[in-house]
Structure 1
Amino acid sequence: MSKSSKKGKTGTDQRASLGAQLSGLWPALVQGDPKAVHEARKLTRKVGAELSVTGAPKKVRRAWRDLRRAVAPLRDHDVAGEHLAAALEEQGRSPHEIADFRRDWQRRRAELLAGVQWPEQPPLPERPDKFKRRARRTLAHEAQDLLDDTPAVLKAESPETWHEWRKALKHYRYTLELVDKSPDVLLNTLDALGRMQDAEVVRGLLTENQLLPDQREALLARELEARRTSQEQVRTLWPDLKKHLKAQRR
């Protein structure tokens, strides 16, 4: 996936812009614009962290969850297409073959888009009193959970275990950015985890849909290596990330 946005807005400025961001994205989003799809997916994660802190009603949380689920297949398709096209170029495939692949990928995307059931634009409740204090308290709990869970994750073989940890770490990132800026070690870890998850998406699409039969084995091997490399990057980053998480428990 594309790189995590470095040092984003925090606090009041971020809160004021969330609703406006979604309203601005909405017309392009329902038309399936790739950039709008990507930004909307990120926005649902940011809002999800805020809703957890505020204790928003389940109806509101479901509305944002439904939006995230609506855009997820399109975003996964876009990301997988980028990786597959890059892999074909690495293999020295002809421009004609790559152009054929891109046309077929766009056709598949159009079919996905036609099947999307867009929810209504979800609401964004007001923040409660002492919001930052509540955010700090939530942050401390999330940091402790990550410290408890990570040693087992780093030893795990299951991609699903890593994926669940990645979701928890992303949630932590957006909780942190309600009150502070994310450090580079957190963003770099999430970038590595994002590439690992991209590899799983690509491998799933290649296997389940019997795509690119002549190149499938080489492409599967490429993504498996990307997963391994990403995991090693995360293990290397962990000591510094651990220090950051320990500091958030205070």
Structure 2
Amino acid sequence: MKDARTWTEHLRAHIPQALLGEDPEGVHQVRVAARRLRAYLDLLGFRVLQDDLKRLLRGTGRVRDLEVALAREALPQGFRAFLERKLQEARGRLPELLASPWTEALLRALLALPPLEKKAAYKGLSRMRKRLARRLKALRDTPSPEALHAYRRALRRLRYAKEFLGLSTREERRLQEELGALQDLGVLLGLLGEYLLEEPEGEAAALAQVLREEMERKAAALHQLLAPGEG
């Protein structure tokens, strides 16, 4: 079972790779570590450092979105050039965050986190399960992109918490894959919208329509997956 120290060291080890910008795994692993550490804090019942880790995630989110978008095949040439330009701009802002004294202080604070105690950790897990149930109810009652995103975040946090405790996460991983695919499509469509405001060209507009149709199909499948008695 990986603890806070393991994931803090994982975070520190991947910051130089993220700053170098040659491998998308750098930023990706920084974000994985930050999210797992947030789940660890939830198990401890700590609010401290949550906002700091959220800042780290927000500060690296644009780079990750652009890297994922560029991994898609068969993008229109103009759109790909747009994504590459935006990625360079976003990477240029990373040193201000990742190479700062603030990040070094965050890493030191994370290393000082206590180990998990079984009783307290399972109380934390129970809180997270209840939060996920509330998010699912809200999604079923009033479906919206915001409700879906909130459910996705709560599901991911629960999965990571269960992994800290050595519990099976097969169902959570299955749902995460479906939700993640839909999220990636939404991000790509948003980036495509940015590009079309700059360059309203036909090939990109056609791709936008394809993406919208693909999102509708995936959203319908998710609706069935998360229907009462399923999710």
Distance 1:19 1:241, change over 3 A: farther
Greater alpha carbon shift after TM alignment, 41-50 vs 109-118: 109-118
Distance 1:56 1:138, change over 3 A: closer
Equivalent pairs: percent with the same residue?
26
Distance in 1 (alpha carbons) for counterparts of 2:134 and 2:221: 20
Secondary structure at 2:166's aligned position in 1? coil
Equivalent in the alignment of 1:230:
218
Distance 1:145 1:111, change over 3 A: closer
Equivalent in the alignment of 1:140:
126
Supply the AA of the counterpart residue of 1:199: L
Gaps of 5+ in 2: none
Distance in 2 (alpha carbons) for counterparts of 1:114 and 1:16: 29
Secondary structure at 1:118's aligned position in 2? helix
Distance 1:232 1:49, change over 3 A: same
Equivalent in the alignment of 1:68:
57
TM-score by length of 1: 0.75
Distance in 2 (alpha carbons) for counterparts of 1:65 and 1:152: 23
TM-score by length of 2: 0.81
Match of 1:202 among 174, 183, 188: 188
Match of 2:19 among 24, 27, 30: 30
Summarize deviations over 1:164-192 as a string: whole Å, max 9, x none. 11111111111211202443221011111
Secondary structure at 1:180's aligned position in 2? coil
2:182 aligned with 1:192: no
- 1:55 is displaced (CA, Å) by 4.1
Secondary structure at 2:120's aligned position in 1? helix
Distance in 1 (alpha carbons) for counterparts of 2:149 and 2:3: 27
2:44 aligned with 1:44: no
Asked if the contact 1:49/1:175 (under 8 Å) is kept, the reply is yes
Distance in 1 (alpha carbons) for counterparts of 2:218 and 2:39: 25
Asked if the contact 1:195/1:227 (under 8 Å) is kept, the reply is no
Distance in 2 (alpha carbons) for counterparts of 1:73 and 1:184: 29
Distance in 2 (alpha carbons) for counterparts of 1:129 and 1:45: 17
2:97 aligned with 1:118: yes
Asked if the contact 2:62/2:90 (under 8 Å) is kept, the reply is yes
Supply the AA of the counterpart residue of 2:126: A
Distance 1:136 1:233, change over 3 A: farther
Summarize deviations over 1:22-56 as a string: whole Å, max 9, x none. 22112111223411111111111100111223244
Equivalent in the alignment of 1:92:
none
Alignment of 1:129-168 (within 5 A): 131-154=117-140, 156-168=142-154
Supply the AA of the counterpart residue of 2:181: R
Supply the AA of the counterpart residue of 1:234: L
Match of 1:21 among 5, 10, 19: 10
Asked if the contact 1:18/1:43 (under 8 Å) is kept, the reply is yes
Equivalent in the alignment of 1:213:
201
Gaps of 5+ in 1: 1-10, 89-96, 243-250
Asked if the contact 2:156/2:176 (under 8 Å) is kept, the reply is yes
Q: How many residues align?
A: 219
Asked if the contact 1:185/1:237 (under 8 Å) is kept, the reply is no
2:157 aligned with 1:171: yes
Distance in 1 (alpha carbons) for counterparts of 2:7 and 2:194: 36
Q: CA RMSD in A?
A: 2.6
Supply the AA of the counterpart residue of 1:176: K
